[in-house]
Chains A and B, each alone.
Chain A
Amino acid sequence: MTLALFAAFAALLVGCSLMVILHRNPVASALFLVLAFCSLAGLYLLLHAEFVAMVQVIVYAGAIMVLFLFVIMYLNLRHDVEQGIAVAVRRGAGWILGILLLAETVAFFKGRWAEGPVSAPDLAPVAGNTQAIGQVLYTRYLFPFEITSVLLLVAMVGAVVIAKGRGPGLHPAAPAADAAADAKAAAPDHAGGEA
């Protein structure tokens, strides 16, 4: 049963991944990517990694793909059918590099393999691994967790700085008035950005 499920999910994953790069319509490519993510989540489930599977669906198939689709639709990729010698050259280079990489990989993995580390002790066999992850996240990995929160804050502030229209190009005022306007504008800016 597990093997059959694995084979099904794996075949779906490979097929969808191929369709992502082979399909001509970018929106269809993106939708195939969603399917690929979902079948990957299925594989995670088979490995008893329920938490990773859920995160895969929620974060990747949900949030990130919505972002992808937005970008694709905003860019309005109508004129992406390229022609001419440049495309042929690029395609050719791509194939050659891909084959080289494949050859390298094969050569490399013929190398010596050895036993990996002993597998980590089974954590919390009862309540599923979501609880176990939560427990180590707030104890052992407390420090990285806190740093991640700072990281997200910086990313948010950065996005506001980059996206917000301010400064001389958009306030055609005298320098002093401009600075005062900035100081006044600062408060609503942040309220908007961090909400």
Chain B
Amino acid sequence: MMPFTMPSLIAVDWWALGAVIALSVGAMLLLVLEFVPAPPASNRGAFVTLLALLAAAGSVLEVRDARRSLFDGMFLHDGFTVFFTVLFCVIGAVAVLQSWDYVKRTRINHGEYYALLLSSTLGMVLMAASNDLITIFLGLELMSLALYVLVGFRRTRLDSSEAAMKYFLLGAFASGFLLYGIALLYGATGTTNLAKVAMFLADSPMIGNPMLIVGGLLLLVGFGFKVAAVPFHMWTPDAYEGAPTTVTGYMSAGAKAAGFAALLRVLLVAFPPLMSEWRPILSWIAALTMTVGNVTALLQTNVKRMLAYSSIAHAGYLLVAVVAGGLDGGSAALFYLAVYSFMNLGAFGVLALLGRGAEERVTIKDLAGLGFRSPMLGLAMTVFMLSLGGVPPTSGFMGKVYLFSVAVKAGLIPLVIVGVLNSVVSVFYYLRVTVAMYMQEPGAEPVEIAWAPSAAIAVVITLALTLWWGVQAQDLLTTAQRSILGLL
């Protein structure tokens, strides 16, 4: 018998682990609840989901200043974890509010919808909190598996199934790359713990070793896929278009934020010694991502597809912040992620309100005249579009200003020039939506607006956050800076 020690469960900080517990218990509770018949009008699934998300956020906020390393350093509770856990929970909550009526209207109101939503949130939390490549991979898989199914949730629709199929096949491929990269890194360094990888690299002749570099590159491919960076972006427009609109909003915000959280932790904790290797690669990817995303978005007439390409472009801006690195780059990325999540969620939330029953009316033509038919919705959509384009006084503007100024400080002038030019291009297609809403006559069959109180609350929340962070960015910025400190 070899000696071994049981991990003492009493010593675990339950508050720090609370988010994981609340989310997984919530997901399982939802599955069990399906056994109990409910009246068709009831929405207890959404209700339980909201409670679980609230409990998860509350639990990590309870110990927000603590720093805990659980399970042999695999799960880290620090400012970074708290920031992202709360972000994911709020994103999830907004998505639940948007889905509240949408899933009933489009008749996909099955209990598994919310269970999968919670599981993918759990995966995101794990990706942000993991300090170990194994748990990062498991978190990523958990998030992705749930999202594959959510994308194909309207299973009687051909485009939804096609989207899920494409997303699943390419996603499985990317997971393979990521896992292979992890295996090579383990072979090169002898550990999967990020802090230990950094310690190993700090004083070793391994730098420049092919195995290490190939491992790192494969890791970048895996993450590049999840955040939809060019050239790993092919799945994005199809998956975004085919998914139920509320799921599109949720994955465009949550999956991207989670991908960047894991990428930031890996690059800033484990790979500072290899900075000279990954910086140029990521710079090229960033420039390509911004340009391809924005230029292709110009050509789209389906707003969901357009927003998909726009989300690719935003991944490019975020990569600029990652390349800048350090405290400033990291906090710029966190700030931009928070801001981006809510303006994007808001835009998809508005789109989810359009159409009667299960029909989907999301082309630019369908939006014609919306600004006069529903001033509130038109105003909200306009703000989201302006914010995505980076026009003051919205949060998108503050995010871009901060991000590009950080990049200038880091000496990334060419990237900033590409980024600013791209932002100018992007304003064009964002304004096309606004122009259609206010300056075009609605067609023969104007789109029906399916108002619901919960969806209205979601619009108000996202709108308020987008405007608030536009004029009062300081709080969020300080939080972002404090959150990133723990990594460095």
Contacts and interface: CB of A to CB of B under 8 A. Distances in A.
Interface in A114-168: 114-120, 123-124, 127, 131-132, 135-136, 139-144, 147-148, 150-151, 153-155, 157-158, 160-162, 166-168
Interface string A83-125: 0000000000000000000000000110111111111100110
A158 B4 contact: no
A187 B34 contact: yes
B194 to A, nearest CB: 14
Nearest to A171: B107
Contacts of B414: none
B71 A143 contact: yes
A171 to B, nearest CB: 9
B138 A144 contact: yes
A111 B210 contact: yes
Interface in B129-164: 132, 134-135, 138-139, 141-142, 145-146, 148-149, 152-156, 164
A180 interface: yes
A184 B34 CA distance: 9
B38 interface: yes
Interface stretch (B110-118, B263-271, B278-286, B367-375): B110-118
Interface string B1-35: 11011110000000000000000100110010011
Given A112-B209, A115-B205, A148-B138, A143 B75 contact: yes
A157 B31 contact: yes
B126 interface: yes
A139 B5 contact: yes
A153 B32 CA distance: 13
B4 A139 contact: yes
Interface string B436-460: 0000000000000000000000000
Contacts of B481: none
Contacts of B146: 154, 158
Contact of A143 (B74, B149, B208): B74
B156 A182 contact: no
A132 to B, nearest CB: 7
Contacts of B411: none
A75 to B, nearest CB: 15
A108 B208 CA distance: 11
B95 interface: no
A112 B109 CA distance: 57
B134 to A, nearest CB: 5
A5 to B, nearest CB: 24
Given A139-B5, A175-B107, A154 B142 contact: yes
B55 interface: no
Contacts of A118: 190
A123 B38 contact: no
A170 interface: yes
Given A158-B146, A158-B149, A179-B40, A108 B107 contact: no
B7 A169 contact: no
B187 to A, nearest CB: 7
Nearest to B119: A154
B203 interface: no
A120 B190 contact: yes
Nearest to A150: B24
B38 A114 contact: no
A150 B31 contact: no
Contacts of B425: none
* Residue in A117, A158, A168, A170 whose Cβ sees the most chain B Cβ within 10 Å: A158
A188 to B, nearest CB: 10
B48 interface: no
A81 interface: no
A50 B185 CA distance: 23
B139 A154 contact: no
Contacts of B191: 117
A176 interface: yes
B214 A116 contact: no
Contacts of B214: 108
Contact of B145 (A113, A119, A132, A151): A151
Given A144-B138, A148-B138, A114 B206 contact: yes
A162 B152 contact: yes
Contacts of B74: 143-144
A120 B186 CA distance: 12
A151 B108 CA distance: 23
A48 interface: no
B126 A147 contact: yes
Contacts of A114: 204-206, 208-209
A3 interface: no
Nearest to B207: A114
A23 B138 CA distance: 36
A158 B148 contact: yes
Given A154-B116, A158-B145, A170 B152 contact: no
B40 A143 contact: no
A8 B34 CA distance: 55
A47 interface: no
A151 B115 contact: no
Given A117-B190, A161-B110, A124 B2 contact: yes
10 closest residue pairs by CB, A with B? A117-B190, A169-B156, A179-B40, A158-B149, A143-B71, A114-B205, A186-B34, A147-B138, A154-B119, A124-B2
Interface of B: 1-2, 4-7, 24, 27-28, 31, 34-35, 37-40, 70-72, 74-75, 104, 107-112, 115-116, 119, 122, 126, 132, 134-135, 138-139, 141-142, 145-146, 148-149, 152-156, 164, 187-191, 200, 204-206, 208-211, 214, 358
25 contacts: A108-B210, A113-B209, A115-B205, A116-B190, A119-B190, A120-B190, A127-B1, A139-B6, A143-B74, A147-B135, A148-B138, A153-B119, A154-B27, A154-B142, A154-B146, A160-B112, A161-B155, A170-B156, A175-B107, A179-B107, A183-B39, A186-B110, A187-B34, A187-B37, A190-B34
Given A139-B5, A167-B107, 19 more contacts: A108-B210, A112-B208, A113-B209, A124-B2, A127-B1, A143-B74, A143-B75, A144-B74, A147-B126, A148-B138, A150-B119, A157-B112, A158-B116, A158-B145, A167-B155, A168-B156, A168-B358, A190-B34, A190-B35
